[in-house]
Amino acid sequence: MNKISIDNSKALPFLPAGAMEGMQTAVEAAHETLMSGSGKGCDFLGWLRLPSSTENRFLSEIQENAMELSRIAEVLVVVGIGGSYLGARAVTEALQHPFSQLQKKRDHPVILYAGNNLSEDYHAELLDVLSECSWAMVVISKSGTTTEPAVAFRLLKEQLEKQYGREEARKRIVAITDAFHGALRQMAEKEGYLTFVIPDDVGGRFSVLTPVGLFPVAFAGFDIHDLLDGARDMQEICLRTPDFTKNPAAVYAATRNLLYQAGRKTEIMVTWQPHLVFLSEWWKQLYGESEGKEGKGIFPASVSFTTDLHSLGQYIQEGTPNHFETVLNVKRPQRVLQIPPDPVDGDGLNYIAGRRLSEVNSNAQLGTLLAHVEGGVPNIRINMPAVNEFHLGQLIYFYEYACAVSGYVLGVNPFDQPGVEAYKRNMFALLGKPGYEQQGKKLRGELPGQKG
């Protein structure tokens, strides 16, 4: 089958008899809430029909501008935080050669990231390497005032203008921002940057299929038409019906919510391909920000096997039984690599000589699944035919739809993130931002060693 599919057979034994059928009503209600636009956060449902409403000529415009920029820059720095960079990074790292920076002749340009942390060393070292190469940047922010990307943009803009002069630097900056408002929009219009719009009705963590994700993916040399085709395919499946027999994303949403109700408060996303580590990072933001509120929500964690079997495998197998696993299973690898025989056989591996490494990995996966289920860990398996643009598009929409349904089943607004503002207020106060003086004084009095 050339589509994303799901197997929850290793989760059902951990649920009461008939639980899935009972959850059907809740999932259908959540689906109808989405379709009618009548639920919490309904102003942010632009992602729901985004794949089908995105015209191919718009994709071609993005791809052409990205290719034109790649002709003058071998490196693109993506400046953004959260959904402004995680989706693009998830897709590009899934598709690109993991050692491309060491290739003498690279197949694709290099993508680097800034503005997703406040590390002085990280940004100083980034500036060091950029001074020795040809580069450009895309800055992604609706407001242009989010601290992390705004600080990085200041630093990088100064470096770019030093290297190339102000006029040439303008040609090497792309702004993806609000259509009309915000500091970045004003600067982009003043400086004449190439711009693309973040739709008002699409939140950051749902924005990977907008220019936020599409421009970096296109610059990296991957096919955003295929990416959207996959998303359109999954949109049609998901929006047609919440019927469990025909909608794998509905099955996923229902199963994970039933496990949560059964006391499984942590979901561990398991990948078996290093390429997919940042897909897990994107997934964690999508589900963590969407569900973690009002004292509710499944905690999203991730592991990369077999690597983490030698660190966290013990805990997953025999630790506190409050978690379940969702395994992302890639059915078809891109390359062929066989294990050679050895005449001495000092490592005792001749019994698998001649077999493909993917066969060994698959059996490690099946052996782990059986061991963990036997150890009391429920398991959901999401099957992905191959890692390519089309199936990544399918998977992105699969997760987005399931996330929205899960949030509504849980009874929260899956499209806001009020808790994120708490750290920002404290940071502004401690840094002395105008208007936060009183709060700053109060906070400093609460810090160790600051009283008296």
Task: Tally Cβ neighbours within 10 Å of residue 452.
Answer: 4
Measured in whole angstroms, the distance separating CA 358 from the mean position of its chain's CA atoms is 25
Determine which one of 97, 296, 424, 442 is catalytic.
Answer: 424
Determine which one of 104, 105, 190, 310 is catalytic.
Answer: 310
- Three-state DSSP at 244 gives coil
Is 334 in contact with 274 (CB distance < 8 Å)?
no
- Where b means 16+ CB within 10 Å and e means fewer, 182-194 reads bebbebbeeeebb
Judge whether 142 counts as a catalytic residue. no
For residue 31, what are its two tokens?
Answer: 């689906």
- Sheet (strand 323-332) strand order: 5-7, 379-386, 323-332, 266-271, 299-304
Q: Across the strands, what pairs with 79? A: 114, 139
Judge whether 105 counts as a catalytic residue. no
Nearest to 328 by CA among 404, 375, 254, 267: 267
Determine which one of 289, 325, 389, 400 is catalytic.
Answer: 289
**What does 355-373 look like in DSSP terms, one character per residue?**
SBHHHHHHHHHHHHHHHHH
Nearest to 224 by CA among 62, 76, 46: 62
Judge whether 310 counts as a catalytic residue. yes
Distance CA 7, CA 333 (A): 20
Nearest to 189 by CA among 202, 203, 170: 170
Active site residues: 289, 310, 424
